[in-house]
C-alpha cells in the first residue's frame, strides 16, 4: 500500500526535525542532564512538529541503549515504537475522548508500571478539546504524578486550556517553519523520491504552506499525483487553486482602470477553472499589503519585476484607496467563509472598490494649476531629505536607548504579564485600517514580543531592516499603543542575532548583582530628537494638508 509522503518522512530523531531549534536544544539538554519534566505542553500552528517531537521524546526516554539523544532502534522499546506497538506510549485524541470518564480511566491506569521502558508516556493531542470536568479530573494526576509517568499535551489553541493545567506543565511554543527550512526539506524529499520539480515550484509551495511542514509535504504529494512530468509553478497554482502575482496585478489594474466587465470575465474564468476564489481574495489582500509596504519603503523588495508591479499600482491609486480596497476585501473574505457562492461575494467586492474609488475621484478638482502640483512634488522631496537627516541623528542615539529600555524591561521582567499581554497585543489590529497607524501596526505585528517589564517592551525581528524601521518609528508606535491601551508603553526592537547575547549578558549581570539603572535623562534627550522630527514633518505637511483632497498625481 502506498504510504503518504508526510508519514514516510515524519522525523524519527531530533536531527530529522525541521525548524524548532530552541525547543530541540532545550529538550536535548534536559535529557542529557537527566532533568526530564513530568508534564510538557506543546503549542503552535498545525504541521509544525508537535506530535512528531512528542513521539521522538517518548521513544528517547524509553530507549535501553541511548547514544546521547539518539535512540538505538534495536532494543525492544525502540522496535515496538517504530511499529507503533509500544504499550508504554499511549496516544489519546482529546477530540474524540474528551469526557470525564475517559480521563478518570486514564487516571486509574497511571499507577501501572511500564512494560519495557523506564516511563509510561501519555501523548494527549488536541488537549484543548477536553471538557471542564475532564480537565479537573486530569489536574490531580498532573499535580502529583507517579515517577514513571510523563504527560505531553499538544494543542493549537493554548488559550482554551485552564491556567491550573498550564501552570503545571513546561510549555514549548512551536513557531511556523521558515520558507528556507521548508524548501530544504522538500528538496531532500524530492531527491529521495526522484521527483522532478523546479526551484520556483518548491519556493511557491513553501510560501503557500504558511509555515506548516506537513501541509507543504501534502501539497507535494498531490502534485506528484497531478502530473508525471516535471512539476513547475503553474502546476502548483493549478492544484492549490491560486493564481500568479502577474494575474493578481492584472485584476487590480483592471479594477483601478474601471474595466469592470473585464474583471468579471476573469472571475468567471477562474470560477470555471475550479480556482479557489477565497484563496485568491486572500492573495490579493497580501499583494495590496505589499504595495503599501512599497509605498512607504520601496527598498524592502529586491525582485525587480515585483517592484515594478507595486509601482504601477501606486501610480494608479492613492494610499488611502489601497487601504479602502483592503478593508472591503477583508469583509468579503470573512463572508466568503460562510457562503456557497464565493463568486458573488468576490464580484460585489470589486463593485464596492470601484464605487469607493469613483466617490473619491468625484471630490477631486481636476483644474488644479500645475504650479501647485510642482510645489507639492518639491515639498515631498524636501520632506524625504529632512527625514533622512533626522533619522541619521536618531540612529546615533538608538544604541543608548536600546540599553535603557532593554535593561528596564529585563530588570522588571514578569512572565505572567508577558503571557497576558501577548494575548492583549492582538487588539492593535484595530488600527490596521487607520492610515495614521497602519504602517507601524504592521511593524509591531511582524515582530515577536519577548519581554515585558512594567511599561517596557522588547520586540525581536528576524529581518534586520524591520528592526531598524521599528526603532525609527518609536514615537508613532508609542502613540498607537497609547490609542489602544491608554498606557504609555516604552517599546524597543532588537534583531534575532542580538537577542541571545542580550539575555546572556543580563543574566551574568544579575548573577554578579550588578546594578541596573534607568537612564531617564538620556531617554528624554532622544525624545527631543523625535519631537524635532515631528515638528519638521508638521511644517512640511502644511501645504499638503491644504490641498490633500484636490491634488492627484498621474
**Domain boundary residue among 313, 339, 362?**
362
pLDDT band at 52 (very low <50, low <70, confident <90, very high): very high
Task: For residue 229, give the CATH number of its domain.
Answer: 1.10.8.60
Does the pLDDT value for residue 269 go beyond 50?
Answer: yes
Q: What is the 8-class DSSP label of residue 429? A: G
278 within domain boundaries: yes
Same domain, 190 and 169: no
Same domain, 138 and 16: yes
Beta carbons of 114 and 81 less than 8 angstroms apart: no
Per-residue pLDDT tens digits for 40-51? 999 999 889 999
User: How many angstroms separate the CA atoms of 13 and 71, rounded?
Assistant: 8
554 within domain boundaries: no
Cell numbers describing residue 455: 511599561
Task: For residue 145, give the CATH number of its domain.
Answer: 3.40.50.300
319 within domain boundaries: yes
User: How many angstroms separate the CA atoms of 15 and 53, rounded?
Assistant: 11
60 within domain boundaries: yes
How far is the first Cα of the chain from the last one, in angstroms, to the nearest whole number? 62
Per-residue pLDDT tens digits for 180-239? 999 999 999 999 999 999 999 999 998 888 888 999 999 999 999 998 889 999 899 989
Cell numbers describing residue 551: 491634488
Same domain, 276 and 342: yes
User: How many angstroms separate the CA atoms of 48 and 11, rounded?
Assistant: 11
Helix, strand, coil shares of the chain, percent, nearest 5, are 65, 10, 30
Same domain, 264 and 394: no
Cell numbers describing residue 53: 517531537
In this prediction, residue 547 carries a pLDDT of: 42
Report which of residues 438 and 502 the model is more confident about: 502
Q: Which residue(s) pair with 413 in the sheet?
A: 453
pLDDT band at 103 (very low <50, low <70, confident <90, very high): confident
Phi, psi of 124 (to 5 degrees): -105, 105
Q: What is the mean pLDDT of residues 517-532?
A: 54
| Residue 284 belongs to domain spanning | 245-362
Same domain, 335 and 219: no
Q: Is 188 helix (H, G, I), strand (E, B) or coil?
A: helix
Task: For residue 358, give the CATH number of its domain.
Answer: 1.20.272.10
Beta carbons of 148 and 120 less than 8 angstroms apart: yes
Per-residue pLDDT tens digits for 300-347? 887 788 888 998 988 888 888 898 999 999 988 888 888 788 898 898
Same domain, 310 and 293: yes
Find where cell 517553519 sits.
177
Same domain, 485 and 542: yes
User: How many angstroms separate the CA atoms of 457 and 406, rounded?
Assistant: 8
pLDDT band at 59 (very low <50, low <70, confident <90, very high): very high
Same domain, 296 and 347: yes
Number of domains in the chain: 4
In this prediction, residue 524 carries a pLDDT of: 57
In this prediction, residue 532 carries a pLDDT of: 57
In this prediction, residue 528 carries a pLDDT of: 62
Q: What is the mean pLDDT of residues 378-397?
A: 55
User: How many angstroms separate the CA atoms of 55 and 84, rounded?
Assistant: 10
**Domain boundary residue among 191, 209, 240?**
240
For the chain, how many residues are written? 554
Task: Work out the angle at residue 30's Cα, subtended by the Cα atoms of residues 26 and 36, and round it to the nearest 5 degrees.
Answer: 125
Lowest-confidence region among 26-30, 113-117, 175-179, 249-253 = 113-117
Same domain, 323 and 251: yes
In this prediction, residue 426 carries a pLDDT of: 82
385 within domain boundaries: yes
Same domain, 199 and 276: no
369 within domain boundaries: no
129 within domain boundaries: yes
Q: What is the mean pLDDT of residues 278-291?
A: 91
Same domain, 533 and 384: yes
**Domain boundary residue among 308, 328, 362?**
362
Same domain, 542 and 395: yes
In this prediction, residue 550 carries a pLDDT of: 40
Does the pLDDT value for residue 391 go beyond 90?
Answer: no
553 within domain boundaries: no
Lowest-confidence region among 70-79, 286-295, 400-409, 504-513 = 504-513
- Average confidence score pLDDT of the chain: 82
Amino acid at each position: 500500500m502506498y504510504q503518504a509522503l508526510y508519514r514516510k518522512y515524519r522525523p524519527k530523531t531530533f536531527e530529522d526535525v525541521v525548524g524548532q531549534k530552541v525547543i530541540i536544544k532545550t529538550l536535548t539538554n534536559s535529557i542529557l542532564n537527566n532533568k526530564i519534566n513530568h508534564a510538557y505542553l506543546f503549542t503552535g500552528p498545525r504541521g509544525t512538529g508537535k506530535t512528531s517531537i512528542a513521539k521522538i521524546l517518548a521513544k528517547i526516554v524509553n530507549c535501553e541503549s541511548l547514544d546521547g539523544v539518539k535512540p538505538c532502534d534495536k532494543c525492544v522499546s525502540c522496535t515496538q515504537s517504530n511499529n507503533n506497538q509500544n504499550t508504554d506510549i499511549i496516544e489519546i485524541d482529546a477530540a474524540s475522548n474528551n469526557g470525564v470518564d475517559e480521563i478518570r480511566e486514564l487516571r486509574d491506569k497511571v499507577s501501572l508500571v511500564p512494560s519495557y521502558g523506564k516511563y509510561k508516556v501519555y501523548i494527549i493531542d488536541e488537549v484543548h478539546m477536553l471538557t471542564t470536568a475532564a480537565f479537573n479530573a486530569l489536574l490531580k494526576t498532573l499535580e502529583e504524578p507517579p515517577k514513571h509517568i510523563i504527560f505531553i499535551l499538544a494543542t493549537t489553541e493554548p488559550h482554551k486550556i485552564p491556567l491550573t493545567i498550564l501552570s503545571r506543565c513546561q510549555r514549548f511554543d512551536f513557531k511556523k517553519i521558515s520558507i528556507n527550512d521548508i524548501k530544504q526539506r522538500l528538496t531532500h524529499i524530492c531527491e529521495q523520491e526522484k521527483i522532478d520539480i523546479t526551484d520556483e515550484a518548491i519556493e511557491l509551495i513553501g510560501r503557500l504552506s504558511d509555515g506548516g511542514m506537513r501541509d507543504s509535504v501534502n501539497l507535494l504529494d498531490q502534485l506528484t499525483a497531478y502530473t508525471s512530468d516535471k512539476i513547475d509553478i503553474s502546476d502548483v497554482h493549478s492544484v492549490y487553486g491560486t493564481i500568479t502575482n502577474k494575474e493578481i496585478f492584472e485584476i487590480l489594474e483592471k479594477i483601478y482602470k474601471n474595466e469592470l466587465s473585464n474583471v468579471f470575465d476573469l472571475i468567471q474564468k477562474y470560477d470555471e477553472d475550479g480556482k479557489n476564489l477565497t484563496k485568491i481574495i486572500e492573495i490579493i489582500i497580501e499583494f495590496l499589503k505589499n504595495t503599501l509596504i512599497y509605498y512607504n519603503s520601496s527598498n524592502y523588495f529586491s525582485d525587480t519585476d515585483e517592484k515594478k508591479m507595486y509601482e504601477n499600482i501606486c501610480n494608479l491609486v492613492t494610499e488611502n484607496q489601497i487601504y479602502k480596497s483592503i478593508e472591503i476585501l477583508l469583509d468579503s473574505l470573512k463572508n466568503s467563509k460562510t457562503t456557497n457562492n464565493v463568486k458573488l461575494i468576490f464580484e460585489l467586492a470589486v463593485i464596492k472598490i470601484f464605487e469607493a474609488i469613483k466617490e473619491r475621484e468625484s471630490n477631486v478638482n481636476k483644474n488644479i494649476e500645475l504650479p501647485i502640483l510642482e510645489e507639492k512634488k518639491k515639498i515631498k522631496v524636501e520632506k524625504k531629505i529632512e527625514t533622512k537627516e533626522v533619522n541619521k541623528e536618531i540612529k546615533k542615539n538608538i544604541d543608548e536607548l536600546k540599553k535603557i529600555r532593554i535593561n528596564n524591561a529585563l530588570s522588571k521582567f514578569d512572565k505572567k504579564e508577558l503571557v497576558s499581554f501577548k494575548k492583549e497585543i492582538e487588539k492593535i489590529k484595530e488600527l490596521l485600517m487607520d492610515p495614521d497607524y497602519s504602517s507601524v501596526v504592521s511593524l509591531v505585528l511582524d515582530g515577536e514580543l519577548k519581554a515585558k517589564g512594567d511599561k517596557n517592551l522588547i520586540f525581536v525581528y528576524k529581518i534586520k531592516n524591520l528592526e531598524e524601521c521599528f526603532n525609527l518609528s518609536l514615537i508613532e508606535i508609542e502613540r498607537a499603543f497609547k490609542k489602544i491601551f491608554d498606557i504609555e508603553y516604552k517599546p524597543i526592537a532588537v534583531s534575532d542575532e542580538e537577542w541571545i547575547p542580550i539575555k546572556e549578558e543580563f543574566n551574568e549581570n544579575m548573577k554578579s548583582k550588578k546594578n541596573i539603572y534607568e537612564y531617564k535623562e538620556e531617554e528624554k534627550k532622544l525624545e527631543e530628537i523625535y519631537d524635532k522630527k515631528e515638528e519638521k514633518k508638521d511644517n512640511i505637511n502644511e501645504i499638503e494638508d491644504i490641498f490633500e483632497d484636490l491634488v492627484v498625481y498621474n
